[in-house]
Structure 1
Amino acid sequence: MNWEDTPEEAAFREEVRTFVRDRFPSGYRPDPDAEQSLEPEDVRGYNWPVDRVSDDPQRREGARRWASVLAERGWIAPHWPVEYGGAGLTAMQEFILQEEMMRARVPTVNGIGAFLIGPTILAHGSDEQRAEHLPRIARGEVTWAQGFSEPGAGSDLASLRTRAVRDGDEYVVDGQKVWTSLGQYADWLFVLVRTDPDARKHRGITFLLIDAASSGVTIRPIEDIRGAAPFCEIFFDGVRVPVANRVGEENQGWYVAMAALGFERAGIGATIKYEQALAELIGCLSDDPQQASSSLGREGSPLPRGDVSLGREDVSLRREIARRYTEIRVLYNLARYTASREEPGYEASVNQLFGAELHQRLARTGAKTFGEAARLWQRDGSPMNADFTHMRMDSVAATFLGGTTEIQRNVIATRGLGLPRE
């Protein structure tokens, strides 16, 4: 397929570039020591849900100002209807907007709210839910987290045991969720609960919206192997949730959740991050000082190169880097194709699967490049600020975040290729 911009798309791309250059808050700078939250649209040094509540007043103000600037254009949730705070952009315009923001290394705002639960409420929510929640997401006033996985229900999500019992106009929720990305910073949660314990496991699940400040909700951050805490565990102890907060019909939440996961798997963010990381690696290996300094931070300082002379002469490494380059271009085309679909289907799982495994291959290529230096965790004085060491740790989770590779292959086989389930 020909993905070259039409004249209208090219004009919009230039509009985005000018907007980011002129309107991004000058005081909102990346934190070089901050770990990413592992979400695909993360930009190194930024974590908008965390930054908006930072103890650093300049960082907090920068995050909130950036949200306000984007909200003026409807660009926090650009594909949404204008009546809910969006900009009514086409799917390809939204793709271009996200692509250019990633290339400029500025953070998206309210990613889980804008790209995951928002489209789900648009598709399956009530008019009252749309009116209550969507404008606040689109203004960057409220953040969301996804409460799906449980200690005994990760890949086999339909085995979840968190229960909700109907009591008049409310559900009473008891149970536990785990690995909830940025849940400790969320104002609201969207949660899968079991409402019919006797039904077949996919058919007794309901999709609820829960205020994180509700009585009986306890949130505990979980530290990962990097020493960061990008996710948490959440406990529900007699939490009362209005029936009006149910999305879709009772016991039909599994189908709503699958639609939500389709939106999650359809992004461009990972592609641009891998492209930039590989460009920096090639620059670091280059004998040409101009090329070696071509990948700069927002301050314009060249990345430290360290001793990578052995890697530069390794013919097999050159071939491996060429393969990574080709794979990144494939991933870009998969993302463009997924974005061209009105509603993501199995194509989103192809994109997710290929991108997750590429993440790990790219991290291994970086580790091979730097040899023993790839063991260095501290950034100061390490080749490329130890970016690939940190990427290697990030990539451990890549093949089960957003659905394991086994689940993605099942989706592709059954929904894409029409193969039987047994």
Structure 2
Amino acid sequence: MHWDDTSEQAAFRDEVRTFIAERFPAGYRPDPAAEHSLEPEDVWGYNWPVDRFSPDPDRRDGARRWAAVLAERGWITPHWPKEFGGAGLSSFEEFVLHEEMMRARVPTVNGIGAFLLGPTLLEHGTAEQKAEHLPPIARGERTWAQGFSEPGSGSDLASLRTTAVRDGDHYVVNGQKVWTSLGQYADWLFVLVRTAPEAPKHRGITFLLVDTATPGVTIRPIEDIRGATPFAEVFFSDARIPVRNRVGDENRGWYIAMTALSFERAGIGATVKFEQALKRLVEHVRANGLGPDKAAVRHEIARRYTEMRVLYNLARHTVSEQAKGGVPGYEASVNQLFGAELAQRIARTGTAVFGQDARRWDRTGQPLAAAFTHLKFDAVAATFLGGTTEIQRNVIATRGLGLPRS
């Protein structure tokens, strides 16, 4: 398939590059000691949802100024209609914008709110919900986190047990969510709750919008294998959530959630991150040698480059389907599965180059700042973040290939 830019896309790509060069805040620099949040569009050294509350005034000011200049163009939510703060860009223009931001190593803004919740509200939200929630996301003023997974209800999400009981104009919510990415930095959550305990498990779920300042909502960070805290657990204790914050009909939340998950990004962020990591690795081995097993390492690096280009083409295929008006279905699972397993293979390839040095965690004074050692730890979670490998294969088999469920 031929993926060269059209003349219009090439002109837009140049516009984006110029914009980044001229408008990215000069004082907003990477933090070399920071661990990113494991999301595919993270840029090493930046974590925008965290940076906007940083005690470092330069980092805090830079994060907020960057959101403001992106919002001027509608580029926080580029594919949204202009009436809600978007730019009305085509799917390919949005793809180019994020590709160039990743290549320039500048952070994207407001990921979960902009790319999961926003499109879901555009399709299923009331006029009041759109007016209340979409403009603050588009301005970079309100961040969101996803409250789906629970202890014992991760891959089998429909088995969730957090309950919501109707009490007049409110739902009273009790239960727990876990592995909530950057939940401790979120202003709002979108959560799945069980409103009909006796119904079949997919049919008794409701989709709610929750202000994290609501009494009865407690958020606690979770430390991961690296010592970082990219996740949180959320506890609900008689939290009263207004009925007006329900998206769609009661007991139909599972179908709303499936819409939200279909809006996962095409995967360009992971592709560019892998490309840059491999480029740095090749530069290092050219300068320092490949070690005793040169042929094997050279072969492995070549395979990783080939796989990285496959991932790029998968991303372009997904965005081409969006451009034709389709909603990504099993294609998102193909991207997720291939990208997750590739992250682990790239980490193994990189650490093989460094031998015993790959055991060193401290970035200071280490080759490539111990980047592949840290990537190896990051990649441990890759094959279950956003849905386990087994779930992704089942989706591909049943929805993509039409195979029977049993």
TM-score, normalized by the shorter chain, greater than 0.5: yes
Q: Counterpart in 2 of 1:336?
A: 316
Query: 1:310, CA displacement in angstroms?
Result: 4.5
Tell me if the contact between 1:265 and 1:402 (Cα under 8 Å) persists in the aligned partners.
Answer: no
CA distance in 2 between counterparts of 1:70 and 1:265 reads 18
CA distance in 1 between counterparts of 2:358 and 2:256 reads 43
Aligned with 2:345 (options 352, 357, 361): 361
RMSD: 1.0
Aligned with 1:395 (options 379, 391, 404): 379
CA distance in 1 between counterparts of 2:281 and 2:58 reads 32
Aligned with 2:393 (options 393, 405, 409): 409
Is 2:116 aligned against 1:116? yes
CA distance in 1 between counterparts of 2:244 and 2:391 reads 32
Q: Counterpart in 1 of 2:170?
A: 170
Query: 1:264, CA displacement in angstroms?
Result: 2.2
CA distance in 2 between counterparts of 1:279 and 1:172 reads 52
CA distance in 1 between counterparts of 2:303 and 2:102 reads 23
Q: Counterpart in 1 of 2:267?
A: 267
Tell me if the contact between 1:265 and 1:352 (Cα under 8 Å) persists in the aligned partners.
Answer: no
CA distance in 2 between counterparts of 1:25 and 1:32 reads 17
1:309-353 CA-partner distances (Å, limit 9, x unpaired): 353751011011000000000000001111122221111110111
Aligned with 1:382 (options 346, 352, 366): 366
Q: Counterpart in 2 of 1:317?
A: 297
CA distance in 1 between counterparts of 2:226 and 2:401 reads 38
Q: Counterpart in 1 of 2:229?
A: 229
- Number of residue-to-residue matches in the alignment: 402
Tell me the amino acid that sits aligned with residue 124 of structure 2.
Answer: H
CA distance in 2 between counterparts of 1:383 and 1:7 reads 41
CA distance in 2 between counterparts of 1:396 and 1:249 reads 38
Q: Counterpart in 1 of 2:22?
A: 22
Query: 1:265, CA displacement in angstroms?
Result: 5.0
Tell me the amino acid that sits aligned with residue 51 of structure 2.
Answer: D
CA distance in 2 between counterparts of 1:409 and 1:313 reads 34
1:214-245 CA-partner distances (Å, limit 9, x unpaired): 00000110111111100110000001111111
Write the mapping of 1:83-94 to structure 2, written as runs, cut at 5 A: 83-94=83-94
CA distance in 1 between counterparts of 2:156 and 2:339 reads 21
| Secondary structure of the corresponding residue to residue 59 of structure 2 | helix
Tell me the amino acid that sits aligned with residue 301 of structure 2.
Answer: I
1:240-276 CA-partner distances (Å, limit 9, x unpaired): 1111111111111111111211212533111100000
Q: Counterpart in 1 of 2:100?
A: 100
CA distance in 2 between counterparts of 1:50 and 1:388 reads 23
Tell me if the contact between 1:265 and 1:351 (Cα under 8 Å) persists in the aligned partners.
Answer: no
CA distance in 2 between counterparts of 1:6 and 1:310 reads 40
Tell me if the contact between 1:265 and 1:349 (Cα under 8 Å) persists in the aligned partners.
Answer: no
Tell me if the contact between 2:266 and 2:316 (Cα under 8 Å) persists in the aligned partners.
Answer: no
CA distance in 1 between counterparts of 2:205 and 2:345 reads 36
Tell me if the contact between 1:266 and 1:352 (Cα under 8 Å) persists in the aligned partners.
Answer: no
Tell me if the contact between 1:76 and 1:138 (Cα under 8 Å) persists in the aligned partners.
Answer: yes
Higher deviation after alignment, 107-116 or 341-350: 341-350
Tell me if the contact between 1:248 and 1:256 (Cα under 8 Å) persists in the aligned partners.
Answer: yes
Tell me the amino acid that sits aligned with residue 89 of structure 1.
Answer: L
| Secondary structure of the corresponding residue to residue 76 of structure 2 | coil
Tell me the amino acid that sits aligned with residue 235 of structure 1.
Answer: F
Tell me if the contact between 1:144 and 1:187 (Cα under 8 Å) persists in the aligned partners.
Answer: yes
| Secondary structure of the corresponding residue to residue 311 of structure 1 | coil
| Secondary structure of the corresponding residue to residue 213 of structure 1 | coil
Query: 1:381, CA displacement in angstroms?
Result: 1.4
Tell me the amino acid that sits aligned with residue 273 of structure 1.
Answer: K
Q: Counterpart in 2 of 1:294?
A: none
CA distance in 2 between counterparts of 1:158 and 1:369 reads 43
CA distance in 2 between counterparts of 1:83 and 1:42 reads 28
Is 2:283 aligned against 1:283? yes
Q: Counterpart in 1 of 2:31?
A: 31
Tell me if the contact between 2:180 and 2:233 (Cα under 8 Å) persists in the aligned partners.
Answer: yes
| Secondary structure of the corresponding residue to residue 241 of structure 2 | strand
Is 2:205 aligned against 1:205? yes
Tell me the amino acid that sits aligned with residue 365 of structure 1.
Answer: T
Tell me if the contact between 1:264 and 1:402 (Cα under 8 Å) persists in the aligned partners.
Answer: no
| Secondary structure of the corresponding residue to residue 237 of structure 2 | strand
Q: Counterpart in 1 of 2:161?
A: 161
Query: 1:76, CA displacement in angstroms?
Result: 0.2
Identical aligned residues as a percent: 75
Q: Counterpart in 2 of 1:298?
A: none
CA distance in 1 between counterparts of 2:264 and 2:237 reads 28
